[in-house]
Amino acid sequence: MNKTKFYGCLGVLALAGTMFTACSDDDNNGGNENSNTAVWTVNGGINACDHVLFTESDKAGSKDVNDKGTQIGNGDQEFVFTGKQTLKKGTYILKGWVYIADGAELTIEPGTVIKGDKDTKAALIAERGGKLIAQGSETQPIVFTSEQAAGSRRPGDWGGIILCGKARTNATEQQIEGGPRTRHGGNDDNDNSGVLSYVRIEFAGYPFATDQEINGLTLGSIGKQTKIDHVQVSYSNDDSFEWFGGTVDCKYLIAYKGWDDDFDTDNGFSGHVQYGLAIRDPKIADKSMSNGFESDNNAKGTNADPHTSAVFSNITFVGPKMGDKNFVNDASYITAGAYNPNNGSGLGRFQSGMQIRRDSHLSCFNSVVVGWPVGLIVDKQLGDCQGAATNGLLKLQNLWFANLDAIGTDENKVLTDPNNESFSAKFFLAQPGNKYSASADGWFDVTGYRPTAASPLLSAASFTDALLAGFEKVAYVGAFGNGADWTANWTNFDPQNTKY
């Protein structure tokens, strides 16, 4: 093996199908691949660096043409990929934290399956200036999933996907949540971090420390030139999607049976999101109390710019009460069952379809919340969200709520408002187009989220508000009309039992 001293690179990523010519030992430890401090860079051939790259069946050192997959990284070191390479269609094992460095570009071909290693809590992280090009297709989605066998997968089996960019955040520059070294933020709102399209992310989201979890998909300061559409995050051990600052627009997102929040927006995220489906498992909720939306301007609720001012439209939130008519929102019922990862994640209770707090100016239109304990919380704990709502700085219009215990409450972890006297309930009922029904009967077909042929949702949308400029104008409220099903073919609503 060719080992030479190398300066200025922080790690290594070895990829199947690439041609390398040299392997270098940055930290001058002699290239000991068993060291947890070794730092490598790979400039060339698979053969030159086969201590990093080997087939799954080659863990004992023997080659086997009937291998189950090709490994990326070896898990006990930090690796950084530099240059531009393509990961050919196939099945791969991701081990440890693998970075796509500034200036690097990793392209993943349609139909590729990448399994995150449980022991090393694998994660793929695109740093500022790096690009992940994961363009799948309806018939050949790209799948990031657990390495565990069918029937044995759990939320948090591996880390997840993190993209970091150079768009603005109200924290100027931030360390990304979850533990990686990577920072995000800058002044380029048109920054491009690549493509995620027709992609599934399953059983990700490991909690490395309290309030330091990697989400299913974490987006730090991602700019508008990034393409994100048709992404399904299933059984994440933290939030399914979380944006920290940034301006990226997203379409066709699915948050499926996550542990904590479905869509979490922080630190000045100002992008547009249209067409989203969030479905909860009534047995899985987080100790912090799980929400559909959780939106903050920042952790302290300060009046910092750019404000979190994301605009969502055509979202369907299917809460835990829709999953079981006998649902009880306490520890006697919420047990996670076979999905409990036993990794320190705390079970808790469900809270609201929408929690807008800490001076957030998030707006939402043409959307549905059904089967949650609470529909809306405009939180007054930190920051002045209620003042923002009164002054039109956050807008919640053409929203249809049904099958709730309370339309709204005003404080975190308060789930009752028997007379609808809270600011949140009054505000909801006063906004144009908003509707509350005790039952969602007649709204959905047997799926629980697609409208029936006679559903009142099909003709209830409005796109007259100026904040909706640039959105597709459709007739329906919620994620679906009565036309083509945008979830067809590329999604998977039973990833536990899929044999990859």
Hey, what's the torsion of the CAs at 137, 139, 145, 148, to 10 degrees? -160
Q: How many residues are given for the chain?
A: 500
Q: Angle at the Cα of 313 (from 437 to 430), degrees rounded to 5?
A: 45
- Determine the pLDDT at residue 211: 67
For residue 121, give both structure tokens.
């809590």
Dist CA 408 CA 414 (whole Å)? 10
Structurally, at CATH architecture level, domain 83-497 sits in 3 Solenoid (2.160)
Give me the percent of the chain exceeding a pLDDT of 90: 75
| Residue 14 predicted with pLDDT over 80 | no
Distance CA 316, CA 322 (A): 12
pLDDT level of residue 81 (50, 70, 90 thresholds): confident
- Mean pLDDT calculated for residue range 426-434: 98
What are the extents of the domains in the chain? 1-80, 83-497
Mean pLDDT of the chain: 86
Amino acid at 306: P
What count of Cα atoms within 13 Å lies in the side-chain half-sphere of residue 349? Answer: 15
Other Cβ atoms within 10 Å of 36 Cβ, number: 10
Could you tell me which residue, 44 or 419, shows the higher pLDDT? 419
Q: Is the pLDDT of residue 436 over 90?
A: yes
pLDDT tens per residue across span 194-230: 999 999 999 999 877 766 779 999 999 999 999 999 9
pLDDT per position as a tens digit, 303-335: 999 999 999 999 999 999 998 889 999 999 999
- Share in percent of the chain as helix, strand, coil (round to 5): 5, 30, 60
In one-letter notation, the amino acid at residue 141 is P
Which uninterrupted H or E stretch holds 390? helix 385-390
Write down the pLDDT at residue 354: 98
User: By the 8 A CB rule, do 483 and 489 touch?
Assistant: no
pLDDT digits (tens, 9 = 90+) for 228-276: 999 999 999 999 999 999 999 999 999 999 999 999 999 999 999 999 9
The pLDDT value recorded for residue 347 is: 94
According to the model, what pLDDT value does residue 5 have? 20
HSE-CB of 297 using CA atoms within 13 angstroms:
25
* Amino acid 56: pLDDT: 36
44 pLDDT more than 50: no
How far is residue 178's CA from residue 208's CA, in Å, rounded to a whole number? 7
Q: What confidence category does residue 177 fall into, taking pLDDT thresholds of 50, 70 and 90?
A: confident
The CA distance from 409 to 191, in Å, is 38
Number of other CB atoms surrounding residue 11 within 10 Å: 23
Q: Where residue 73 falls among pLDDT bands split at 50, 70, 90? A: low
Give me the torsion for CA of 222, 262, 87, 167, rounded to 10°.
Answer: 0
Return the percentage of the chain with pLDDT > 70, whole number: 84
- Which DSSP string do the residues of 176-203 spell out, in sequence order? PTTS-S-EE--S-TT---EEEEEEEEES
Cβ-based neighbours of 413, under 8 Å, separated by 6 or more: 289, 351
pLDDT at 70: 62
Distance CA 193, CA 127 (A): 9
HSE (side-chain half, CA atoms, 13 Å) at 201: 34
pLDDT at res. 381: 85
The structure tokens listed for 172 are 């100027």
Instruction: Decide if 316 contacts 293 (C-beta within 8 A).
Output: no
CA 487 to chain CA centroid, Å, is: 17
Task: Tell me the pLDDT band of 181, cut-offs 50, 70 and 90.
Answer: confident
Least confident range of 127-131, 140-144, 176-180: 176-180
pLDDT confidence tier of residue 71, bands split at 50, 70 and 90: low
Decide: 352 and 377 in contact? Cβ < 8 Å.
Answer: yes
pLDDT at 20 over 50: no
Over 90: is that where the pLDDT of 36 sits? Answer: no
Q: Is the pLDDT at 357 greater than 90, yes or no?
A: yes
pLDDT in tens, 90-117: 999 998 889 999 999 999 999 999 999 9
